[in-house]
Amino acid sequence: MSGSTVTSLFERPPVGVVGEPLPHESAELHVTGHALYTDDLGVRLQNLLHAWPRQAPHAHARVTRLNVAPALAVPGVVRVLTAEDVPGVNDAGVKHDEPLFPTEVMYYGHAVCWVLAETLEAARLGAEAVEVEYEPLPAILTIQEAIAAESFQGQPSTLRRGDVTLGFAAAAHVFEGELEMGGQEHFYLETNASLAYVDESGQVFVQSSTQHPSETQEIVAHVLGRASNEVTVQCLRMGGGFGGKEMQPHGYAAIAALGAVLTGRPVRLRLNRTQDLTLTGKRHPFYARWKVGFDEGGRLLALQATLTSDGGWSLDLSEPVLARALCHIDNAYFIPHVEVHGRIAKTNKTSQTAFRGFGGPQGMLVIEDILGRCAPRLGLEPHELRRRNFYRPGERTPYGQPVRHAERLETIWSTLLRTSDFEARQAELRAFNAAHPHVKRGLAITPVKFGISFNFTSYNQAGALVHVYKDGSVLINHGGTEMGQGLHTKMLQVAATALGVPLSWVRLAPTRTDKVPNTSATAASSGADLNGGAIKDACEQIKARLAAVAAGSLSALSVKVGALGVHPNDVRFEHGRVFPVGHPELGIDFRQVVHDAYHLRTQLWAAGYYRTPGLHWDRDAMQGEPFKYFAYGAAVSEVEVDGFTGAYRLRRVDILHDVGDSLSPLIDQGQVEGGFVQGAGWLTLEDLRWDTGNGPQRGRLATQAASTYKLPSLSEMPEVFNVALLERATESGVVYGSKAVGEPPLMLAFSVREALRQAAAAFGPQGRETTLASPATPEAVFWALEAARQASARPEVAAD
C-alpha cells in the first residue's frame, strides 16, 4: 500500500493491525465495572432531577382530565411536564405520529406526563399522585383483529417477478399454508437512559443511550423549538441496543432536555426494567398466508404470499422493516415467479421497531418454514430440498439484484456438511430414534443469504474526524455508536492500519454530534463498512500529506545508499516507522515525521467521508440494487426432545459464516455466537404475551419481567458449539475486504427450529407434514409431537 496514493478500499497492507484477533477495546472495563454508561454520569452533576412517567391503565382511551396539582404537593417534586410545556413540536418521532404527551392513549402503559423530582422515590410518588381521567375506547390487539377491522397504517408493498399464475400452472406440486410468528423483546442489559443539562452558553447537552445520535439531536431540537446547532448529543457507549435504540430513545432524550431547559437543572431519565418493557417497541410479529409450487424435481417455481406485520400504534420503522422482509422472503433460494404483498397492521400496542435483522428474519422464516413443511410431502430430505433450490451464479433476486458470489452458498454448504459429519450423524440419529420411543433427536442444516446496506439509500453514508497530534498520537471520532458489538475495536484497528502505527498510539473519542454531524444510525450491520470507510479516507488524507514531508527527509538518507531520492508514492508506513519502499533500514520514526510536518505547517487532521457506491432502489416498484453485497452462512443444529414434556436441549451446533476478510476475528466470532443464540431465543423461547381478554387489563403486557419472559441463558447454549469463519472470502469494495457481521448470524438459528421439527416428526410416520408454532417453546414442540403420535395411532383406530 503506497504512502500517498489512495488505495482501493479493500486492499490490505502487508503489515497492519486489521485481521488480528484482539479482545474488545472495553472488555477489561466491562468486567471490572469501570466502563461508564449514560446513567453513571449523573452522579457528577449537582442539583440533579429525576424523571418518572405516569402510565395509562388502558390500551386505548381519551384523556379527559389531567390534574398535576396533587403531584406538586408531594415533597421533593419540582415540576410535572405536560404538552403545555413543549415550546416546539409535541412529537417524539420523525413521521409526526408519536405525540410526546398524548391526549389519546394508544397502548397500555402509554406515558401521559412526566414528573421531575429531587429523588427517584419522590418522582415515583408524584407520578402516582397525578389525577387522570380517561374515556376508554375500543382496542385492537392482535394481527387477526386488525385484519378483521381493516386497521392498517403506512404504505402497502408488493414484490413481483414473473407470473405466479403461469408458475402454479406448470407446478407438479402446489401447497398452501399459514404461519404466525411472535415478536421479541430487545432486553438489552442497559435500559433506555438520558441525561440532559444546559451549559453556560445555553447549549443543550444530552447524554443518551442511542444508536442514532443525529436523529436524537433532531428530535430534541424540534421538541425544544431550537436549531440542531443548539443541541449536542453524545453516546458514550450502550449496554446493548439490537435495534431497540435506533428510534425509541429520542422521546426520552427530549423529556430530559425539556426538563433541563425548563428548570435550569440537569435531568436524569432512566427507565427501570418494567417501564422499558411496557413503554418500548419490540420485534414485529408477522402473520403470513402462502401458496407455493414445485416441479417434479422439487425446485421452486412460484411463491404467492401476503405478509402482515404488527406495527403497533405508530409507524416508527415499520415500512422499511416490511420492505426488508419482502426482500428476504427468498433467503438463499431462486424462485422464478414471485408475488408477495406486505401490509402493516395498526394495533394498540407499543410501536414495534427495529430489531437485529430488521424484518429479514421474519421474511426468511416464511420460506424456511415452507421448505421444512413441504420436504416430507415431496419425498425429499429437507437439506436436499434446500440445496436444490440455491441461487446459482448469474441469477437475480425477485427485486432485480444480481446474487454476487452465489457459489459461496454451495461452498459453505458442502464444507459444513463435511466438517459437521452430517451424514454419519444422520445415521446415528436414525438408530437412536428407533431405539428410544419417548426421546427423539433432530438434525437440520439451514442457509443464510442476507443483504447488507440500509434499504433507505440516503443512510448509506458516514463521516469521521481524525486528529494526529504533534507527539504522533492519534485521536479518532466517527459517527458509529458502540453497543458492545465491537465497532470501536474495529475502527481502532482500521485507523492504526491505515496510518501504519501501533494500536496503542490510537485513541477513540465518544460519539457526539458536534464532532461528526448528520450521521446515520449504527444499524443495518453497516457500522464497520460505513465508518471504517470514512476513517480510512481521513487517515489516507493525513498520510498523503505526511508522505510528502517524509519524502524530503528520506531522500537525503537514500542518497547514502546510492538512490536518487524518494517519491511520496514510494513512502511506506509500518509499525510506527516511515521508510522508502524496499529500504526499511532507512526508516524514521512516525512521530519525527509528524513533528517535521507540523513545523512545515502541514495539516495534521482530516474529515473523512464515505458513501456506499452502486446502490439504487425504487421503493414503490420494489426494484433495484439496495444492497452492497450479501453475507452468507449456514448452521447445523442437533436437538433432543422429551416426548412427555416437549422439553429439549441443544446438543451440538456447527456454524460456517462468511465475514469476508475479518477486520477482527475474535469480535466477529463473538458476534456470530451471540447472534445465533439471540435468534434461537426468538425462535424457541421468547414468548411475548399481551392480555387479549375483555377485562380491565386488556392490552397489558403480561410478560413484563425476566421472571415471565424467558431469555436464552447459559443452560440453553449448545453443549458443543463449533464456529468457523469462511476463509479466502475477500469482499472487494468494502473496507479492508471485510463483511458485516451484526445481523446475518441471527438467522443461522433457523437450523434449531428445523431440528425441533425433525425431532417432533420422528414421533410419527414418515412423509407427513409437521407444523410448528413460532416461537417453538417446549409447549409448542409438545403439541407438534403429540400430533405426530396421533397420526401414527390413526391407522390402528381405523382397523379397530
- Which of the residues are catalytic? 743
Angle 360-378/665-684 helices, nearest 10 degrees?
70
User: CA gyration radius for the chain?
Assistant: 28
3-class secondary structure per residue, 761-788: HCCCCCCCCCCCCECCCHHHHHHHHHHH
**C-beta of residue 168 within 8 angstroms of C-beta of residue 195:** no
Cell (9 digits) for 605: 487532521
H or E element that contains 617: strand 616-618
Angle 318-327/360-378 helices, nearest 10 degrees?
30
Of the chain, the end-to-end C-alpha distance in Å amounts to: 81
In a 13 Å sphere around the CA of 546, the CA atoms on its Cβ side amount to: 36
Angstrom distances, CA of residue 503 to CA of 40, 493, 517, 563, 663: 28, 7, 26, 32, 14
Among the listed residues 502, 321, 303, the one whose alpha carbon sits nearest the alpha carbon of residue 397: 303
**Cα–Cα distance measured from residue 471 to residue 134, given in angstroms and rounded to the nearest whole number:** 65
In a 13 Å sphere around the CA of 105, the CA atoms on its Cβ side amount to: 31
**C-beta of residue 362 within 8 angstroms of C-beta of residue 181:** yes
Chain position carrying cell 446438543 = 651
Q: What are phi and psi of 7, to 5 degrees?
A: -90, 170
**Cα–Cα distance measured from residue 260 to residue 268, given in angstroms and rounded to the nearest whole number:** 9
Angstrom distances, CA of residue 71 to CA of 54, 76, 81, 132, 501: 11, 10, 11, 11, 59
**C-beta of residue 370 within 8 angstroms of C-beta of residue 363:** no
Q: How many CB atoms lie within 10 A of CB 603?
A: 11
**Cα–Cα distance measured from residue 649 to residue 755, given in angstroms and rounded to the nearest whole number:** 11
**Cα–Cα distance measured from residue 245 to residue 248, given in angstroms and rounded to the nearest whole number:** 5
**C-beta of residue 438 within 8 angstroms of C-beta of residue 558:** no
Among the listed residues 319, 360, 365, the one whose alpha carbon sits nearest the alpha carbon of residue 342: 319
Query: For residue 202, how far is the Cα from the chain centroid?
Result: 35
Q: How many CB atoms lie within 10 A of CB 602?
A: 16
Q: How many CB atoms lie within 10 A of CB 163?
A: 14
Q: Which residues contact 353 (CB under 8 A, 6 or more apart)?
A: 243, 244, 246, 247, 248, 280, 281, 282, 316, 317
- DSSP E strands in 277-349: the ranges are 286-294, 300-310, 337-345
**Cα–Cα distance measured from residue 377 to residue 380, given in angstroms and rounded to the nearest whole number:** 8
**Cα–Cα distance measured from residue 657 to residue 668, given in angstroms and rounded to the nearest whole number:** 10
